[in-house]
Amino acid sequence: MSETTRVLVVDDHAIVRSGLSSILAGESAIKIVGEATDGKEAIAKAAALQPDVILLDILMPRCTGLEALPLIREKAPEAKVLMLTVSNEEKDLFTALKYGAQGYVLKGAGIAEVVNAIKRIAAGEVILSPQMAGSLVSEFRQRQNSKEEMDLSPRELEVLKLVGEGLTNAEIAEKLFLGESTVRTYLSRLLDKLHLRNRAAAVAYATRRGMTSA
């Protein structure tokens, strides 16, 4: 990852695109490398530009952000995708994380929150708007453990819980007195068992199961 975060802005509203681009261009650590008006254009721009971060709206004509997301991840696998949308529907959140998004922020967020989210997902963190994280907790703490979760070993469950609490592999290794490579192995196994695509999806899973202490 370069010191300057290269960002692609995807939104069907010209005012939103230009506004975001203008404001973000004022950040010394952020460079706007392109804009796209819908999912299809986003796929092409992501492939051509290989940005570090993609700000992706959901509700767009021709091809929605969620429809485009799997192909964006395929064409630009190193890019981090931050959903920036008006949709507070949990199904959209879960679908976005399932397809590989690293963040989900509502458009009502202030520009400082958006800038912070860009910097943090560029650094490898998972970012959710507080409203969305809260809805995850309230809904999924009522659900019973799934059969897939029961297939996890006790150590895999421990790793999943700590991933859900935001710990890095190194922090988990220290807490559980394991090697970092061993933690990566446990994480890989639990992702496979739970049919989760990445760490972001594991965070959402742990949260919705009420496994975190938050």
128 and 155, same structural domain?
no
**What pairs with residue 82 in β-bridges?**
55, 103
Q: Is residue 214 one of the residues assigned to a domain?
A: no
82 and 49, same structural domain?
yes
Tell me the pLDDT tens digit for each residue of 5-55: 999 999 999 999 999 999 998 898 999 999 999 999 999 999 999 999 999
Query: 189: number of CA atoms within 13 Å, CB side?
Result: 16
Q: What is the pLDDT of residue 60?
A: 94
Mean pLDDT of all residues in 165-190: 94
End-to-end CA distance of the chain: 31
Host domain of residue 55: 5-137
Q: What is the pLDDT of residue 144?
A: 45
Parallel/antiparallel/unpaired status of strands 53-56 and 80-85:
parallel
CATH number of 186's domain: 1.10.10.10
Query: 170: number of CA atoms within 13 Å, CB side?
Result: 0
With beta carbons less than 8 A apart as the criterion, state whether 88 and 94 touch.
Answer: no
Measure the CA–CA gap between 188 and 5, rounded to whole angstroms.
28
pTM metric for this prediction: 0.66
154 and 63, same structural domain?
no
- Residue where one domain finishes, among candidates 79, 102, 137: 137
150 and 83, same structural domain?
no
Give the rounded percent of residues in the chain with a pLDDT score beyond 70: 91
Q: Is residue 113 one of the residues assigned to a domain?
A: yes
Tell me the pLDDT tens digit for each residue of 58-110: 999 889 999 999 999 999 999 999 999 999 988 899 889 889 999 999 998 88
Helix or strand (DSSP H, E) at 80: strand 80-85
Q: Is residue 76 one of the residues assigned to a domain?
A: yes
Q: Is residue 50 one of the residues assigned to a domain?
A: yes
With beta carbons less than 8 A apart as the criterion, state whether 72 and 54 touch.
Answer: yes
pLDDT band at 208 (very low <50, low <70, confident <90, very high): confident
| Mean of the per-residue pLDDT values of the chain | 89
Amino acid code (one letter) for 153: S
124 and 48, same structural domain?
yes
Q: Locate 76 and state its tokens.
A: 């630009």
Taking each helix axis as running N to C, give the angle between helix 169-176 and helix 180-193, from 0 to 180 degrees, rounded to the nearest 10.
110
Domain count, the chain: 2
Q: Is residue 72 one of the residues assigned to a domain?
A: yes
Measure the CA–CA gap between 145 and 188, rounded to whole angstroms.
20
